[in-house]
Chain A
């Protein structure tokens, strides 16, 4: 243990603790910008500098470990002067058009400027002469270099958490900037649109491409029927934007708010999550049969999930040879989109051309996914607009809805039913758990052998999880699976996905089924979720997801009555002709920068 004083208060901390962490233990807040709990230490913004008595230079408290008998001052004259200068320097290279900025009110630089009362601009404005342009090429992410303060959080996110490396630090000196490969537009590079960079950008340099006006205009258009679907993870995070603490479930209030916003029907992506389980579960069993019974060498095992559009684009760029292993199922959002303009339109007797299909997602990659050419099987663009959790919160605020005071309401009765299995799609391991709950029962006729259906080995925040179950007590038609040890793996965050796939590629690991979610924690940590994010917040959202699951009357996808109904009335059977036409697709290889 190390003893030191901070602002003359003694504190004892473990060796290796940074000055910043030691100060937090004493409830002394040292401002930071480049520091982020999810990322490695950069020590480059210098906002967190403190004085160490006896040292000529100030120390970056995020980077310097404590030493015995250190005397630290966090608010001395020297520190205050330096910190104020540094904030002013950052402001001078930052396009401070705060009132017009999309991140106005949720900007760490703005907060610091406010705290230090920087007031009238002291230094010269460096922005105009740099002739920045905004990169709006991506349907998901907008990059505005004029607002960038070069903290490199995005670069570290893209490299460390996601293993994508679409963004890098380029050039040096006054020309140093955050850049893609040869500064190409974002839509031309390996960017997976996951939006994790947005979640960690302290300013408005990286924001989602918003479709607020488009959606409002659709709502205002009397000739349009605007149908909205909401993803599982939105309900456990939306509250954070609207006055609740992390981990609050606001499903009923969200549904009420969506009605008040003027959406004509309020539907639940959970419905197609359940449908995904039926299709994907059947697909897995079919692949296993081909491999184990028919000895078909062409069948691609392990099968991987396909719900996460960040993962899909990642595998297209990085492991294209594994595209045949990806489940052909579209994501729940896209299944929903295809059905809204077919099944729903028929049942409601609405011309599909008059339907505007909107989805509320914890995700920015879904914006890109909706615009893929593969996603027009209804004869129209299946999903017209994708809004993030954050954008929905903006709409609710714009409409003057007092969210906290809303009475809970329920989803529409049609394509609004869901199960606990669908809800847990929002957490890492959730698709695996939902699939196992259903597949096990199809094969054995019995419930999964886990207490209260909670398959705990697939839960949790470990980057790569493995689970295996030996199948026993099969029904006669599945007897080929008797005694088979089903091996599963789960990865969340694309860096973990890369590691997992590399192990598969190198033959170091053998699995039957792999779940990958592009974002840390799964969709609950998605790139469209409320900012800030950190391990603690994601943990609370996960707890909320599992609580929601436990609270549902039905917790297995195949028991969703609407799922049975749609197969009866419309689809026929899982993997049937109609399903293939509307619910399945294939992806293509892409270049590697």
Chain B
């Protein structure tokens, strides 16, 4: 597969155009036309799961409900991801505009930002902007109001049904699916839940047009993406790149020259060792990511990395389903037992099988993705785990 050249672009943080003009422009169009453009743009959710955004809006528009809701998922908890914080800090207006557009298209009158507790310091400014926006929307004749809700320290609430449960005042436990939020979401009503960056992308598409947008990225991975880059880096921070680059190019640009592995997609993503940098494409055709890129150099113990992730998961699993609740504990205790020679190295093979079971049988994306990091680290760095 051909990779794109690594190319830095600047759409997301570019200053906003007049948001009311933009909303009015979309309001003058046919709703279904805009949905088709959104689908055609190829935009997939930027939270990590990668569902086609236009299709989500279409389903929510078609769903029956006396009320509908738009929720912006700002529960950015994936280790190594911090781009949503930056967006909300610098260009929150675009997020609000995207939510209003969505509300208009799907027929929702209320929108919420679900902001993680760790980002509460952003709240005063956000609230101010939302109040102002509510006024502007009223003046523009769009019946849509925005409000702020908070998480309280639970990674799993980034899963959309868990987020909805949390907003409903319950434990953030993912629901059985189907039904999906587009038909049965917040308070049982049709609900669109999109990531912060996704809403910004919809605004960009509305601004520059879907044809222009389609020129960015690759066939499978349209558009650009914010990357949260950290670890052993020459350059750390947030960078906006076109999707579809090779990991080799990425490491060349951002690594410290001694890169041993890159964790793509955070703790729930995949660990790629140096020998696979060239063949690995960052995007939906390769490894999709919500933007977390953690770079490890040769001084790092991959056992420690894995231990850290598994400790994270055993705490952040909601705990309701068996594979995830017990599986995370077993994976963690398991590698510790192997390290301490209490179990033979071959026990890792049993744990890999267990990780597979967790992938197939867990209730939600959290449990299903614990195996990603586990299997990719154990397979590529087995000796570091054992010795």
Interface residues of A (CB under 8 A from B): 41-47, 49, 56-58, 60, 63-65, 78, 81-82, 85-86, 89-90, 92-93, 122-124, 126, 149-150, 152, 169, 171-176
User: Which of B337, B361, B368 is within 8 Å of A86, CB to CB?
Assistant: B361
Interchain CB contact under 8 A, A46 and B154: no
Q: Which residues of B contact A45 (CB under 8 A)?
A: 321-322
B305-356 residues at the A interface, CB under 8 angstroms: 313-323, 325-330, 333-334, 337, 343, 350, 353-354, 356
Q: Determine the distance from Cα of A81 to Cα of B362 in the docked complex, in whole angstroms.
A: 14
| Complex interface: chain B residues within 8 A of A44 (CB) | 320-322, 363
- The 7 A-B pairs at the shortest CB distance, nearest first, are namely A176-B319, A89-B326, A85-B357, A63-B176, A44-B320, A43-B176, A82-B361
Contact of A92 among B326, B343, B363 (CB under 8 A): B326
A92 pairs with B360, CB closer than 8 A? no
Residues of A within 8 A of B316 (CB): 172-173
The reply to whether B361 and A173 form a contact with Cβ atoms under 8 Å apart is no
Instruction: Considering the complex, give the chain A residue whose CB is closest to the CB of B319.
Output: A176
Max count, chain B CB within 10 A of own CB: residue among A58, A149, A171: A58
Q: Closest chain A residue to B358 by CB distance? A: A85
Chain A residues contacting B322 (CB-CB under 8 Å) are 44-47, 86, 89-90, 149-150
Q: Is there contact, CB below 8 Å, between A174 and B361?
A: no
Residue of B nearest to A91 (CB): B326
Question: Could you tell me the distance in whole angstroms from the C-beta of B96 to the nearest C-beta in chain A?
Answer: 31
Would A171 and B361 count as touching, CB distance under 8 A?
no
Interface size on B, residues (CB 8 A): 38
B141 at the interface (CB under 8 A from A): no
User: In the complex, A86→B353 CA distance in Å?
Assistant: 12
Pick 30 A–B contacts, CB within 8 A, sort by A. A41-B176, A43-B363, A46-B322, A46-B363, A57-B361, A60-B363, A65-B178, A82-B360, A86-B322, A89-B354, A90-B322, A90-B326, A126-B329, A126-B333, A150-B319, A152-B320, A171-B319, A172-B154, A172-B156, A172-B171, A172-B315, A173-B313, A173-B314, A173-B315, A173-B319, A174-B314, A174-B315, A174-B319, A174-B329, A175-B319
B61 at the interface (CB under 8 A from A): no
Is B68 on the interface with A (CB-CB < 8 A)? no
Question: Interface code B125-140, partner A: CB below 8 Å = 1, 0 otherwise?
Answer: 0000000000000000
Q: Kindly state the separation between the CA atoms of A448 and B58 in the bound complex, as whole angstroms.
A: 64
Query: Does the CB pair A85–B317 fall under 8 Å?
Result: no
- The 8 Å CB contact of B361, one of A46, A92, A172, A176, is A46
CA distance A78 to B328 in the complex (A): 20
Task: Find residues 149-190 in chain B having any chain A CB closer than 8 Å to their own CB.
Answer: 154, 156, 171-172, 176, 178
Chain B interface, >50% SS class: helix
In the complex formed, the residue of B with least CB distance to A41 is B176
Cα distance A126–B325 in the bound complex, in angstroms? 12
Q: A86-B323, A150-B325 are in contact. List 8 more A-B contacts (CB 8 A).
A: A43-B363, A44-B321, A85-B361, A86-B322, A152-B320, A172-B319, A173-B325, A176-B325
B contact residues around A171 at 8 Å (CB) = 319
A interface: dominant SS? loop
Min distance, Cβ A370 to any Cβ of chain B, angstroms? 37
Residue from B313, B323, B334 whose CB has the most chain A CB atoms within 10 Å: B323
Cβ of A173 and Cβ of B317 under 8 Å apart? yes
Q: Which residues of B contact A58 (CB under 8 A)?
A: 360-361
B326 and A93 contact, CB distance less than 8 A: yes
Q: Chain A residues with Cβ under 8 A from B329's Cβ?
A: 93, 126, 174
A116 to chain B, nearest CB (A): 13
- For A57, give its contact among B325, B326, B334, B368 (CB under 8 Å): B368
Question: Which of B320, B343, B357 is close to A176, meaning CB atoms less than 8 Å apart?
Answer: B320
Considering the complex, give the chain B residue whose CB is closest to the CB of A85: B357
Write the nearest CB–CB distance from A70 to chain B, whole angstroms: 13
Q: Tell me if B56 counts as interface (CB < 8 A to partner A).
A: no
**A45 to B, closest residue via Cβ:** B322
A78: which B residues are within 8 A, CB to CB?
Answer: 360
Which A residues touch B361, using CB under 8 A? Answer: 46, 49, 57-58, 82, 85-86
CB of B116 within 8 A of chain A? Answer: no
CA distance A169 to B170 in the complex (A): 11
CB of B294 within 8 Å of the partner chain: no
Compute how far the CA of A572 lies from the CA of B63 in the bound complex, rounded to whole angstroms. 71
Q: Which residues of B contact A60 (CB under 8 A)?
A: 176, 363
A173 to chain B, nearest CB (A): 5
Is B359 an interface position by the 8 A CB rule?
A: yes
A505 to B326, CA, bound (A): 45
A152 CB contacts on chain B under 8 angstroms:
320
Chain A nearest CB, measured from B50 CB (Å): 14
Chain A contacts of B178 at CB under 8 A?
Answer: 64-65
* Chain B residues within an 8 Å CB radius of A176: 317-320, 325
Q: Which residues of A contact B363 (CB under 8 A)?
A: 43-44, 46, 60
Taking each of B327, B329, B353, which has the highest tally of chain A beta carbons within 10 Å of its own beta carbon? Answer: B329
Most A Cβ at <10 Å: residue of B172, B321, B337, B357: B357
